Amino acid sequence: MQRPGEGPEGPRIDAALVAVPPEEAPRPTEAELGAVEHYFGDRAELAQRYVGHLASSGIERGLLGPREIPRLWSRHVLNCAAVADAIPQGALVADIGSGAGLPGIVLALSRPDLMMVLVEPLERRCQWLDEVVEDLGLESRVDVVRARAEQMVGQIDADVVTARAVTALRTLVPLTLPLISGTGELVALKGRSAELEIEKAQKIIRKYKGHDVRVETLGEGFLEEPTTVVRIAVG
Ligand X SMILES: C[S@@+](CC[C@H](N)C(=O)[O-])C[C@H]1O[C@@H](n2cnc3c(N)ncnc32)[C@H](O)[C@@H]1O
To the question of whether residue 61 is assigned a binding role by annotation, the answer is: no
Q: Could you say whether residue 148 binds ligand X (CB under 6 A)?
A: yes
What length does the chain have? Answer: 235
> To the nearest whole angstrom, how small is the minimum distance from the Cβ of residue 205 to ligand X?
18
Return the number of other C-beta atoms located less than 10 Å from residue 165's C-beta: 11
Applying CB under 6 A, the span of 27-35, 54-62, 114-122, 177-185 interacting with ligand X comes to: 114-122
To the question of whether residue 55 is assigned a binding role by annotation, the answer is: no
Q: Which is nearer to ligand X, 65 or 90 (CB)?
A: 65
Nearest residue to 25 via CA among 123, 60, 128: 60
Q: Which of residues 165-184 bind ligand X (CB under 6 A)?
A: 165-166, 175
* Pairwise CA distance, residues 160 & 88, whole Å: 9
- 224 contacts 30 by C-beta, under 8 angstroms: no
Q: Could you say whether residue 122 binds ligand X (CB under 6 A)?
A: yes
Q: Could you say whether residue 108 binds ligand X (CB under 6 A)?
A: no
Applying CB under 6 A, the span of 25-33, 43-51, 97-105, 216-224 interacting with ligand X comes to: 97-105
To the question of whether residue 194 is assigned a binding role by annotation, the answer is: no
Q: Could you say whether residue 100 binds ligand X (CB under 6 A)?
A: yes
Residue 225 backbone phi and psi in degrees, to 5: -120, 100
* Pairwise CA distance, residues 71 & 20, whole Å: 14
Q: Which amino acid is at 70?
A: P
Applying CB under 6 A, the span of 32-40, 41-49, 134-142, 143-151 interacting with ligand X comes to: 143-151
To the question of whether residue 206 is assigned a binding role by annotation, the answer is: no
* Pairwise CA distance, residues 195 & 223, whole Å: 21
Identify the residue among 74, 98, 227, 228 touching ligand X (CB under 6 A).
98
Identify the residue among 35, 47, 82, 96 touching ligand X (CB under 6 A).
96
Instruction: Compute CA distances 218 → 23, 28, 75, 77, 165, whole Å.
Output: 30, 19, 14, 14, 17
Nearest residue to 164 via CA among 82, 219, 52, 44: 82
To the question of whether residue 150 is assigned a binding role by annotation, the answer is: yes
Return the number of other C-beta atoms located less than 10 Å from residue 14's C-beta: 11
Identify the residue among 85, 120, 159, 197 touching ligand X (CB under 6 A).
120
User: Which positions lie near ligand X, rule CB under 6 A?
Assistant: 96-100, 102, 119-122, 125, 148-150, 164-166, 175
Binding residues: 97, 102, 149-150, 164
